[in-house]
Amino acid sequence: MQPELVESRFRAREIMHRYNNSPPTRDGHERREMLAELFCVPVETIPGVYIEPPLYVDFGSNIKIGSDFYANYNTTILDCATVTIGNRVLFGPNVSLYPATHGISVKERQTGLERASEITIGDDCWIGGGANIQAGVTLGQGCTVGAGAVVTKSFPDW
């Protein structure tokens, strides 16, 4: 892995450790400041964003989140590619977003080649607990994903 990616991944792990071990507060401002640091954005750009710890990411810097986003416990976002989450989006517990993918051929996996494709979640979506969104998926505005679903195909706006 390239040295700058190693450093970026380490930076994300340091911030995740602080975030995941931080005490709750009534207004959530301290955690929102840590999220802004993780996502490399000004805190003013993520109003109403609240993610229950623990949160797991690869880099953090490839995650773009709109306003009024709520994620319940144990969210995982492997942001090897850009992940965009719209406004007023809700995640149940144990939601995972996996832009990273590997070849299905053994020979290809043996080369160490990794791929990643963007994930986009439109405004006003609800992702049920335990759902898994795969590489390259776009969920249009207003989509609902049932608990435990594995989403491999895109869906248009409602």
3-state secondary structure of 110: helix
What is the rounded (10 degree) CA torsion for 118, 122, 124, 125? -50
Active site amino acids: 102
Structure tokens at 33: 């400041």
User: 84 to each of 27, 69, 93, 121, 139, how far by Cα in Å?
Assistant: 25, 12, 19, 6, 10
CB of 134 closer than 8 Å to CB of 116: no
The distance of Cα 57 from the centroid of its chain, to the nearest Å, equals: 7
Q: 85, exposed or middle or buried, with CB in 10 Å at 0-12, 13-18, 19+? A: buried
Nearest to 36 by CA among 78, 28, 117: 28
